[in-house]
Structure 1
Amino acid sequence: MTDAPTKTLSLEEVKALAKSVLVSAGLDAHSSEVIADLVRMSERDGPRSHGLRLLPVYAQYLSSGYANPKAAPSIRRIAPGVLRGDGDNGFYQVAALAARAELIEMARENGIAAFTCANCHHLGALRFDTGPLAEAGLVALGVVNSLSMVVPQGGVRPVFGTNPMSFACPRPGSEPIVWDQASSMVALMDIKMAAAEGHDLPRAGGLDTDGQPSTDPNAILETRSLLPFGEHKGAAIAFLIEVLGAALAGGTLSVDNQERESFEALNIKGGTTLIAIDPSRFGNPAFNDYIARICAEIEGNGAARVPGDGRLKNRAATQVNGVSVAPDLLAQLQAL
């Protein structure tokens, strides 16, 4: 017996499919456009665990009543360099897009500015919020806390979420440098995708039922106990994000997920913070030269590469060849 062949979709077909699923789930036209484009870019650049495979989760948020399908986020300036958002129980990316122009203006005016947002849902890659700021010539840092499933080093129960962070900065003469990563050894969606595809993780990403580090994605999903990257160092980063995300924004702490459980949702309504810095206001006129030098020291240095540049190769390939979608996933999405 052979596996059913995959189907190749163009990136525009990916976006159209995503938008049709979101609209069918009740999401309004504007939010559907925003989220569908994020799905397209995730399939384009990778990791694809943040693309089409997230659509059933988005749909569940909407169909269960956990997320507001017609959210109208509100944003107000509460200090010269601080914007505060309320997502109206919608998706964070919609609120972040609404705040982007004013955040950029504030950073150029003050040298540094921040946007915090609560009462919102976040699924997907943070780099699509930091990247546009780098394209505008700014340095950006974004964080969001998430459902507790990461065990602190030496602990016996999860305290932190996978708590991702993203960094971006302009690069003279080339695409901005943009990367994001979870505070866990492996992102949750990568574990779920490995389980769906029937293979182990390349390295131990969580604990099994005996409390031992494991590469078995099904065992990790059963315990929902992930390992932080770099042991105590990754746990410290997860703590930092819990403070910069939940505490500053007033979002739900990673351990407080009773509401999520009642809706059988994947994630909590965590807090997000996006910081924008204008390097031209920080007193070093040679900033771009520094960035170029750092990159030059990495490029051609064995197999090393500038963080995030692997996705640029993926982008070039998928823009030409499209993306291959597994038949079971395609059938699931078409049924939605």
Structure 2
Amino acid sequence: MTDAPTKTLSLEEVKALAKSVLVSAGMDERGSEILADLVMRSERDGPRSHGLRMLPVYAQSFESNYANPTANPTVKRIAPGVLRGDGDNGYYQIVGVEARDELIGMARENGIASFTCANCHHLGALRFDTEPLAQAGLVSLGVVNSLSMVVPQGGLRPVFGTNPMSFACPREGAEPVVWDQASSVAALMDVRMAAAEGHDLPRPSGLDTSGQPTTDPNAILETRSLLPFGEHKGAAIAFLIEVLGAALAGGTLSADNQERESFGALNIKGGATLIAIDPSRFGNPAFNVYVTRICAEIDGNGTARVPGDGRLKNRATAETNGVVVASDLLAQLQSL
């Protein structure tokens, strides 16, 4: 088996390519700049399944008229600690940027604040919603529900989305601690990327046509049935995110896919919630010392690492050397 041909791109070239695809699909200047930057950051930090390979999905959502490429979202403060957004059927990340400064100010004022948004789409890594808050000195938790693909433990059909969550907190003298993960064993785009690259997944991540767990990404894509991580524990987390995401925001439930299916889309208009906490208002002046100590107990502890820190090594390498992109993917993107 020969290696597939590749090309190395600088991060600037990745962002320029992403923006050109988004603009060609009809996206406006503001939105395309935000999403192109997130695509570049995903290629830089990983997982790269949320980077350039996500662009055809973005383009399809615009070209099918499922998502609004020129969204004009609104944000309204509805309680002392609550912001509510309407994404104007655009992407959450655009309204998230618009709400960020006010959310940070509310958290510093009240000690804790939240932003919830409906009538929006969310694709890509969730950590880019939480990391800016940690860079501002806040602890943050973000959740979003997605289209039903995850079978609850013991169930026969998907109920939940991959329903990701992200956590971030400041770390004195270093980059913030930031992690995100799906409620499923594997994210959908990781399954798609494994299928595109012609290899199995590292562990059983979904069901095949006979209802058995499998590592074959093509079989999982055929059934569209993913497994929750940790069996019933992951299913419980997916339930939590369905409530915090869809129910609080008033977004589409993961199981309600009718509109998505009519457009052939790969996501739903779910709900997103972002919670920001100011540790300086919680009464423990040694908060930073605690975080430093927790991280120190992990570092050097065998091969353990602080959650999310793998991205920092990826980032340093990509900033120096660029990223390697499959030539067939480049050809696909250049044809869009």
- Partner of residue 37, structure 1: 37
In 1, distance between residues paired with 2:133 and 2:25?
Answer: 31
- Partner of residue 317, structure 1: 317
- Partner of residue 130, structure 2: 130
- Partner of residue 158, structure 2: 158
In 1, distance between residues paired with 2:160 and 2:293?
Answer: 36
Q: CA deviation at 1:69?
A: 1.0
Residue 175 of structure 2 aligns to a residue whose secondary structure is coil
- Partner of residue 52, structure 1: 52
Residue 174 of structure 2 aligns to a residue whose secondary structure is coil
Alignment of 1:66-85 (within 5 A): 66-85=66-85
Query: Could you report, residue by residue, the CA deviation over 1:39-80 in whole angstroms, capped at 9, with x for unpaired residues?
Result: 000000000000000000000000000011110000000000
Task: Tell me if 1:61 matches 2:70.
Answer: no
- Partner of residue 298, structure 1: 298
In 2, distance between residues paired with 1:182 and 1:106?
Answer: 28
- Partner of residue 107, structure 2: 107
- Partner of residue 335, structure 2: 335
- Partner of residue 14, structure 2: 14
Q: Unaligned stretches of 5+ in structure 1?
A: none
User: Displaced runs of 4+ in structure 1, greater than 3 A?
Assistant: 1-4
Query: Could you report, residue by residue, the CA deviation over 1:153-189 in whole angstroms, capped at 9, with x for unpaired residues?
Result: 0101000000000000000110000000000000000
In 2, distance between residues paired with 1:210 and 1:162?
Answer: 21
Residue 34 of structure 2 aligns to a residue whose secondary structure is helix
In 2, distance between residues paired with 1:143 and 1:86?
Answer: 16
Query: Could you report, residue by residue, the CA deviation over 1:181-222 in whole angstroms, capped at 9, with x for unpaired residues?
Result: 000000000000000000000000000000000000000000
Residue 171 of structure 2 aligns to a residue whose secondary structure is coil
* 2:102 partner letter: E
In 1, distance between residues paired with 2:179 and 2:3?
Answer: 34
Residue 199 of structure 1 aligns to a residue whose secondary structure is coil
* 2:319 partner letter: Q
In 2, distance between residues paired with 1:322 and 1:179?
Answer: 23
Q: CA deviation at 1:2?
A: 4.4
- What TM-score results when the alignment is normalised by the length of structure 2? 0.99
Q: CA deviation at 1:291?
A: 0.2
Residue 251 of structure 1 aligns to a residue whose secondary structure is coil
Q: CA deviation at 1:5?
A: 2.4
* 2:179 partner letter: W
- Partner of residue 93, structure 1: 93
Q: Unaligned stretches of 5+ in structure 2?
A: none
Q: CA RMSD in A?
A: 0.7
Residue 158 of structure 2 aligns to a residue whose secondary structure is coil
